[in-house]
Amino acid sequence: MKTKIIVLSFVTLLFVNTIHSQTKTTVNASNSEISDNLDLKAVASIFGDSENLEDFEKRLNDPKLKISNLDLNDDHRVDYLRVIESVEGNTHLIVIQAILEKDIFQDVATIEVEKDRNNNMQVQVVGDPYMYGNNFIYEPVYVHSPLLFSYFWAPNYRIYYSRWNWGYYPRFYNYWRPFPIYRYNRNVRVWINYNNHYNYVNIRRSSVAINLHRNIRANSYELRNPERSFERRNNSVSNRYELDQIRTSTRNNRSDNNNVISPRTTTRTQTPRNNSQSASPRQNTRTDIETPRRNQSESNAPRGGQNNEQTPRNSSPRENRNSNSRR
């Protein structure tokens, strides 16, 4: 009998540990969303504030700003983001790539700037499909024209190509550990210029930029980890914008459910309110008794207004005797 009890206890413990380990694995897998770690509105904002592309790359990797929170190679350090450029005619393609190992890069996003015949600028910030899904695009409308636009079409303009690589970084750069997502979101909002507008669209407008990108796109991380593509991470939506819509709707539903008051709670809150508003018969009896007393004291007051009320205070019997003795 004791042997059976011991065996059953061992089997039960083994079963519980198996369920616990499976639950932990599921939770960890459901919490990894790569696109949460780089806000493209922040990228568009600092692009508009930069003096040139070298300054733009510096802002992307500044340890004080912490615009990025990406750690694709899982080394517990935020990846350095390099910037390279390709130009054809009136089109500038700026590619942002994460440095993962020596000569191993992964595209994160592109910025496509094009000038039409009327000298109007069209800017699109496009998330890489592996990271953000298909056609996740913001069109920033800047309050002031970015300074770097004035250099893009200068006769002596030099195409920018970052010279930094794995283990070889500028002096200002220091590693930092990735933040939890809620802390990253709180930090990155500080660096978004909300005077600008960031319009979401789902069509790339420059065919020239698309062709340029085919020649210089880097996808080493994508080839190594095809199972971590946005399509497989989120099979119910096509891109990051649709994912944000679902998240917002879910949060609103939760807040609405929290604001609903149950019938039991309503009864408790209303009961004391009704008792305080309705007086008991005993209280009514007291007020009926006290009211005549106040009226009686008022009726015994001397007539003649305010002067008659002050007279008894000054002419008391004691004062009258003192006045007679003086006489």
Give the confidence band of 325 by pLDDT, cuts at 50, 70, 90: very low
Percent of the chain with pLDDT over 90: 63
Which amino acid, residue 272? P
Q: Which residues are paired to 80 by β-bridges? A: 99
Residue 5 has pLDDT above 80, yes or no: no
The predicted-structure confidence for 177-196, as pLDDT tens digits, reads as follows: 999 999 999 999 999 999 99
pLDDT of residue 9: 57
The predicted-structure confidence for 189-232, as pLDDT tens digits, reads as follows: 999 999 999 999 999 999 999 999 999 999 999 999 999 999 99
pLDDT of residue 222: 96
Are residues 98 and 70 in contact, defined by beta-carbon separation less than 8 angstroms? Answer: yes
The predicted-structure confidence for 58-86, as pLDDT tens digits, reads as follows: 999 999 999 999 999 999 999 999 999 99
Give the confidence band of 168 by pLDDT, cuts at 50, 70, 90: very high
Q: Whole-angstrom Cα distance, residue 45 to residue 146? A: 10
Q: List, as one string, the DSSP characters of 45-96.
A: HHHHH-SSHHHHHHHHH-TTT--B---TT-SSSPPEEEEEEEEETTEEEEEE
**What is the pTM (predicted TM-score) of this model?**
0.70
pLDDT of residue 12: 53
**Residue written as token pair 């609405």:** 256
Per DSSP, the three-state class of 298 is helix
pLDDT of residue 251: 81
258 CB burial (10 A radius; 0-12, 13-18, 19+): exposed
Q: List, as one string, the DSSP characters of 219-277.
A: BHHHHH-GGGSHHHH-TT-SBHHHHHHHHHHHHHHHHHHHHPPPHHHHHHHHHHHHHHH
Residue 88 has pLDDT above 70, yes or no: yes
Kindly state the average pLDDT of the residues 126-134: 97
Give the confidence band of 272 by pLDDT, cuts at 50, 70, 90: very low
pLDDT of residue 10: 52
Q: Strands 121-127 and 91-101, how do they pair?
A: unpaired
pLDDT of residue 257: 73
Region of poorest pLDDT, from 18-22, 108-112, 127-131: 18-22
